[in-house]
Amino acid sequence: MNKVPAPDPDASLVELARGGDYSAFEQLVTRHSQRIYGLAVSILRNREDAEEASQKAFISALEHLPSFRGESPFGGWLSRIAANAALEILRQRKHHLELSDTPGDGGDEGLPKPVFVADWSHDPSELAEQVETRAILDRALDSLDAKYRAIFVLRDVEGMSTGETAKILEISVANAKVRLLRARLLMREKLTEIFGDPATRPIHEHHHD
C-alpha cells in the first residue's frame, strides 16, 4: 500500500512567498517562530544564541526560497536550516565540545549502562501537563554534552530521519545511530532518577549467559 504524503499546510503561503509576496513570508515566520526558537534553544541552551540562530534560519530560508520546490514539507526544510544555524553557532563557540566523531563513538563499547532503573510513577502525557516538567526537561538537556543533546533534539524531538541528522551533524549513519542510543540512555538515566518510583526498582541482578 502506498502512503500518500499529507498535503503541506504551508503550501499556499509558500507559493505566494515564492511569487514575491513578502507578507506571506512574514506569516510563515509567525507560524514557525516558536517551534524554530524551541529547536534552537534546546540545542544551544542560551536565549541570545537561540535568538541569533532563529534569525539566521529565517533569513536563510528567505534567501533560499527560490530553490525550495515543495518536494518535502516547508516546516521540515526550515527545521534543517535552523538545525544547521544552531550547529554553526555551537561550532564557533570556544570551549566547545566536538560535534564530529571522537574515539569511542564507533562501537557499542562504552554505552552508558543503565544504573537507576524503575517504573515511572506517572505517564509522560500527565507529566507533560505539569508546570515543573519544563524545568526538569531543561535540566536533563543541560546535563548532556552538546553532541548528544543535538542528536537527541534533531531525532527525537524534531523527528528528523537518521540520514538527515547524520548529514547535518557531518557524521556517518552508523555513528548517528550509536550516538543517538547513547543520548537516549543518558537521558533515560537522568529522567528516571527524577520520575522513577524507587519502590519499583528490580531487586535482583540477573546474570543471563
**Using CB under 8 A as the criterion, which residues of the chain lie in contact with another protein when the complex forms?**
22, 26, 29-30, 33-35, 37-38, 41-42, 47, 51, 54-55, 58-59, 62-63, 108, 111, 113-114, 117-120, 123-125, 127-128, 133-134, 137, 152, 156-157, 159, 162, 177-178, 180-181, 184-185, 187-188, 191-192, 195-196, 200, 202, 205-209
Residue 63 vs 98, nearer CB to another protein: 63
Cα–Cα dist 184/169, whole Å = 17
Q: Beta partners for 196?
A: 120
In whole angstroms, the minimum distance from the beta carbon of 97 to another protein comes to 21
We find the least distance from the C-beta atom of residue 169 to another protein, in angstroms, to be 15
> Within a 10 A sphere around the Cβ of 191, how many other Cβ atoms?
19
Q: Which three cell numbers stand for residue 64?
A: 533560499
CB closer to another protein out of 19 and 94: 19
Rounded (5°) CA angle 130-136-142: 150
Residue nearer to another protein on the CB measure, 1 or 94: 1
The CB-of-42 to another protein minimum distance in angstroms stands at 8
Q: How near is the Cβ of 90 to another protein at its closest, in Å?
A: 18
Residue among 182, 160, 164 nearest 173 (CA): 164
Longest dimension (CA), the chain: 66
Between CA 97 and CA 65 the distance in angstroms is 32
Per-residue cell: 158: 524534531
For another protein, the closer of residues 97 and 194 by Cβ is: 194
Q: How far is the CB of 36 from another protein (least distance, A)?
A: 9
Q: Which is nearer to another protein, 69 or 113 (CB)?
A: 113
Q: How far apart are CA 124 and CA 22, in angstroms?
A: 40
